[in-house]
Structure 1
Amino acid sequence: MKILLALLLLVPGRIQAEEPLVRTGIDVLQERNFRDLKGKRFGLITNQTGVDAKGVLTARILAAATGAEMVALFAPEHGFKGLLESTSVASGRYLLPDGRDIPLYSLYGGTRAPTNKMLKGIDALVFDIQDIGTRFYTYATTMAYALEKAAELEIEFIVLDRPNPITGKKVEGPVLEIGDGLRSFISYFEIPTRHGLTIGEIARLHNFREKLGARLSVIPLKGWRRKMWFDDTGLPWVRPSPNMPNLASATLYPGIAGFEASNISVGRGTPIPFLWIGAPWMKASKIVRLVKKAKLKGVRFEAKTYTPTKSVFKGEKTHGIKMTITDRNVIKPFHIFTHLATALRDLHPDQFDIGSDRSSRLIGSKRFTAHYLSGSKAKEIIDLFENEAARFKAQREPFLLY
């Protein structure tokens, strides 16, 4: 017994929780004793995903930072707590642990960038929100709008970097066709749908491409490698939005979210959002047989019926297709989306509507829509964009931090 106790004392990892392999920007900032904020009055753009390795909110940590003063909070789509699914989020007040009451401004709805009034007396803006590695996830656009405003007012902009949860190596899908008027809040950057960048790297890329001249700094991650998936980092998964419960949903999101513009369900109100699509009229078994012929890697398809509790087809028995990830390192979400979309088009020509205009903005390509509507096969459409992703991987190199 004495020998066993001695061995346990020599191996503390056996009786203590392991430290995360990766340290995020807020962890590194704390290790630096907040020196990047010394003497500054600052605003923080964040939500429930802004936490350190122990799960403590960045807002609470920075409120107590010595030598600096947090004077305002800003929240993106879904609000400060990440629970809202409405088209706008109201501003309000936030009570700090020390008893101070500061404004909490919404950056979703009628106002999507900080205004001059909101930024009066602020020396720096700090951004700490977990992105999920997909161009049309709006948190990165919120960051870009704020970065542009900070550059205009010559306010320092600090990004507390976070991992790309679906790795920093994989790049896939159409590069946004900005010249075709497709740029919007949901697709703002001339990058592929799955871009393989961290939020800090997106900021660096945007600052350069738009010639903003912003006083931008990125507090980098420690220990992160581009091949890492989020569950390799040891960090706690915090649901980044109401319908993003886990890493599996985030993995297929760059493809399956392309159906958000259509008239089918993407699984909101089911246990597996973005891992299932459906409609009451869908001939799911026939579609499964069609897509299986494509022999898509890393995914298994099966017919499955759900009754969504919200969103599209709420309360209706809905036939659909469940997707199970079998090898996430070879899976290609854009390929899956394209094969499913063309199968739905061919099998349900009078019922399935891809939502051409909004779909073009979401996917980021009028060429995709034109070829889809003309009846092109899935592989023909996919081949249009394969070289784009490869070119982008080379173009992004100067902005990579890891």
Structure 2
Amino acid sequence: MTLTGLDVLERDGFKQLAGKRVGILTNHSSVDNSGRNAVDAMRESGSVNIAAIISPEHGFRGTAEHGVLVENSSDPATGAPIYSLYGKTKRPTEEMLKGLDVLVFDIQDIGARFYTYLTTMAYAMEEAARYGVEFMVLDRPNPITGDILEGPALDSTTVNALTAYFPVPVRHGFTAGEMALFHKDWKNLDLKLSVVKMEGWRRDMFFDETAVVWTNPSPNIRGVKAEILYPGLGCFEATNVAVGRGTDTPFLWFGAPWMKAGKIAKELSKAPLKGVTFRAEERTPAKDVYEGEKCRGVAVDIKDAGAVRALDIYVYAAYYLNKHNKKDFIIKAEEIKKMTGNSRFHEMLEAGETPAAILAGFEKDSAGFRAARGKFLLY
């Protein structure tokens, strides 16, 4: 059984927070091994002074949809203000951090660079350094393992956004604590940083092998299979293809009213894509892209989680969509640059390069990161 950083801190009586004014950057995914939220666990311990709660995208309770701004509020149990970092500001302000001794980060990430929680952590680290506030990460599993990497390292000289911040591959293989160590080193932050490590976690574990309590990290990530496919199928959000928001299978299916789904599924089934099967399947999204329209699409079934390379699936799918639906399929150049990490993917696809050539370029672009990441690994 894996104990998260929160479990370890709680077991040890929160002694590392004793006598300090604590801010916590967290949301609904921060639960202990009994399913209790970190804020509640700290409050009920009677030994933690929670002075501020700060929340990321989707809000403190995790119910706000993708891209919806969240307002500030307050916690009725503790009386502490709840500051949103997905509203008027994406970074903690001086007002939010004023009087704090330590800012604690405890949020369950999903292991994809363009998922926003760890960028929010990075912004908070930078502001904590600016205002002299200690920063503590309560570590949690990378739910799609810590030893599989996918995609090119982001070119941070040309791309900088909430979804495109760290110079790491799309599937980066870091835990939150490891990313914090990497970020402090990359930005050379003058920051007192500590990581409360997990116990019983191995790098080859998927989330469902850890016995850590599951909560949907965001409304449309509803299981480990969606997390595994997200680094690839999430890239469709930079196109005019639906990814299953508003259906019962978000990030397990992609489609559009105009898609030649039978041909795409057949091509993907012949491609060298391991651990998955594909089948043509219709869906009618209740919201988001193509709301209320019947979409022809492709369902992706995972058969061997360890063999799946989700970004490979996206590259092959985009190639075949360009082949069979060229008049209808649209890739937003600036958005896909944020997702993949540089402009090369879009340029190579438009030039007619094969998926194999594109993926070989990805591997080359991430070689430096792969060689250097070892010093940040905690497990």
| SS at 2:248 equivalent | coil
Instruction: Identify the residue that residue 362 of structure 1 maps to in structure 2.
Output: 339
Partner of 1:158: 136
In the alignment, structure 1 segments of 5+ residues that lack a partner are 1-20
Moved runs in structure 1, 4+ residues, more than 4 A?
A: none
- 1:84 corresponding residue in structure 2: 64
Farther-moved stretch of structure 1 (286-295 vs 101-110): 286-295
| Structure 1 contact 158–217 (Cα < 8 Å) conserved | yes
State the match for 1:116 in structure 2. 94
Amino acid at match of 2:74: R
Query: Structure 2: how far apart are the matches of 1:79 and 1:297?
Result: 36
2:71 is aligned with 1:94: no
Q: Counterpart amino acid of 1:126?
A: V
Paired residue for 1:279? Answer: 256
SS state of the match for residue 144, structure 1?
helix
- Give the SS at the match of 1:339: helix
Alignment correspondent of 2:376 = 399
Over residues 236-259 of structure 1, what are the superposed CA-to-partner deviations in whole Å (9 max), with x where a residue is unaligned? 210000100110001100011011
**Residue in 2 aligned with 1:5?**
none
Matched-pair contact (CA < 8 Å) for 1:176–1:183: no
1:137 equivalenced with 2:115 (yes/no): yes
In structure 2, the partner of 1:212 is 189
Please give the residue correspondences for 1:3-402 in structure 2 after superposition, counting only pairs within 5 Å. 21-85=1-65, 86-96=67-77, 100-179=78-157, 181-402=158-379
Percent identity, aligned pairs only, is 45
Deviation at 1:68, TM superposition (A): 3.3
TM-score (norm 1): 0.92
User: Does structure 1 retain, via aligned residues, the 8 Å contact 2:152–2:364?
Assistant: no
Aligned residues: 378
CA contact (8 A) 2:23 2:51 kept: yes
**SS in structure 1 of the partner of residue 152 of structure 2:** strand
For the residue of structure 1 that corresponds to 2:359, the secondary structure is helix
Q: TM-score, normalised on structure 2?
A: 0.98
Q: Shift of the alpha carbon at 1:294?
A: 1.4
Deviations 1:140-184 (A, max 9, x none): 0110000001111111000000000000010111110112x2121
Deviation at 1:272, TM superposition (A): 1.1
* CA shift digits 1:18-56 (9 cap, x unpaired): xxx000011100122111101100111111100001100
Mapped to 2, the partners of 1:222 and 1:297 lie a distance apart of 31
Secondary structure (helix, strand or coil) at the match of 1:322 reads: strand
Say whether the 8 Å CA contact 2:114–2:163 is kept in structure 1.
yes
Q: Is the 2:238–2:335 Cα contact (8 Å) retained in structure 1?
A: yes
Partner Cα separation in structure 2 for residue 65 and residue 145 of structure 1: 29
Please give the alpha-carbon distance, in whole angstroms, between the structure 2 residues aligned to 1:267 and 1:394.
36
Distance 2:98 2:159 in 1: 33
Supply the AA of the counterpart residue of 1:75. Answer: S
Distance, in Å, in 2 between the alignment partners of 1:391 and 1:32 is: 39
SS at match of 1:183: coil
Provide the C-alpha distance between the structure 2 equivalents of 1:103 and 1:295, rounded to a whole number of angstroms.
Answer: 51
Gaps of 5+ in 2: none
Q: Distance in 2 between matches of 1:291 and 1:64?
A: 52
Q: Given that residues 133 and 164 in structure 1 are in contact (C-alpha distance below 8 angstroms), is that contact kept between their aligned partners in structure 2?
A: yes
Q: Deviations over 1:267-312 (max 9, x none)?
A: 1111111111000010101111222221311110110001111111
| RMSD (CA atoms) | 1.1
CA contact (8 A) 1:29 1:219 kept: yes
Q: Which one has the largest radius of gyration?
A: 1
State how far apart, in whole Å, the 1-side matches of 2:134 and 2:316 are: 45
In the alignment, residue 354 of structure 1 is paired with which amino acid?
I
Residues 109/362 of structure 1: CA separation in 2 closer, same or farther (3 Å cut) = farther
Tell me, in whole angstroms, the C-alpha distance in 2 between the residues paired with 1:118 and 1:329: 41
Q: How far apart are 1:216 and its partner, in Å? A: 0.4
SS of residue matched to 1:200: helix
Aligned counterpart, 1:11: none
User: Cα distance, 1:390 vs. partner?
Assistant: 4.4
Q: Tell me which residue corresponds to 1:8.
A: none
In 1, are the aligned partners of 2:28 and 2:37 still within 8 Å (CA)?
yes
Distance in 1 (CA, whole Å) between partners of 2:43 and 2:351 is 56
- Name which of structure 1's ranges 85-94 and 39-48 shifts more when overlaid on structure 2: 85-94
Q: Write the letter of the residue equivalent to 2:20.
A: K
Alpha carbons 1:176, 1:182 under 8 Å: kept: yes
2:257 and 2:294 in contact (8 A); partners too: yes
With 249-258 and 28-37 compared, the bigger mean Cα shift is at 28-37
Comparing 355-364 with 196-205, which one deviates more in the overlay? 355-364
Report what 1:7 is aligned to: none
Q: Is the 8 A contact 2:181 2:376 kept in 1?
A: yes
